[in-house]
Structure 1
């Protein structure tokens, strides 16, 4: 993890939806810092600088917030994003100290190409670890280069940096490499499952029309015989 981005934070004195909208119109972000048994501290952060710091720092970005002249290390815990405009609406931070151990979920990045005719399934996209607040891994890289069907990568197989402790079950399945199923085999499995479930499909239109035609011819023949 790189050095935390230093950002000047303004104290927030106005609250409510109207105040929050005014803050966002000024390209700023309302945020709160809590932790260590202290009262929550409500602040306002510069929009663009904060957004870039979060983008660079990843899911567990650590920021050095200057609050009234005092630097506070703040670990990102929750990012609220507008689903339409994709802008940050609010941020939650946890106050931390240098050298303090914290529990975080670190993303998994799968790289490489497995063997041909295989399917790589990322069973878990994050893994829980304990690390120093200033040395949180941005992600764990897992290579599947050349991996054959049947290959499984577990949490205990991850390369953890010094000072980082795995909290997740060591047998937690991270990546599973399976044999790629053909379209024909997939269709056969689906048909078998539907048959077991008692699901019936209507006959195709052409077959229905043919059956109706045969029935009509049969009725006509019976009518002629009766005459």
Structure 2
């Protein structure tokens, strides 16, 4: 069964917009776990505009499900943070400074040697590594050569095409990428713009899908449905 990891960046964004400690990021993470989340994801950025580095240390000390830290390993501060906290998983994402949100995966062909070094660095610390990639078979196959444990498919195009085209057309490149990952013996994660509308079809038809990381849509839904009911609904969508 596919696991749900809740990205709590938006909780931190709301807190930071006012200052102080409301809503409390740790309290929110613990509530997510209590209500059925099987993991907590954070994506600290260099400007700490949502999740702060201090948040990461606090969360690592208290959460009991799988902890996934996403970010750009081209930032030494990020590398140091991950090694200091040793999460269950680090997801390497090629974000530029100041980027609003993730918008592309790694070019694992061009960056293969660099990524191989980074993967080795984290795996030596006992941390599972996932590399953020576009749904491109070439990128999946090259990711295998880095030594990574998993890939995370960037699913924005699926979400967009799910609305504009047919579900089958939207899924096709992702299905091909998933089959390539299976052939390469790579674990498969996915994330970005997945929601209660498009998630059930995606989860049902993606072979070997181990984990989805969902933040923006889930936290937005919680404004209307409440956090407990929302997490329950996302778990049901993955069943």
Q: TM-score, normalised by structure 2?
A: 0.23
Question: Per residue, is there more strand in 1 or in 2?
Answer: 1
Q: Which has the higher contact order (CA 8 A, sep 6+)?
A: 2
Question: Per residue, is there more helix in 1 or in 2?
Answer: 2
Q: TM-score, normalised by structure 1?
A: 0.23
Structure showing greater radius of gyration is: 1
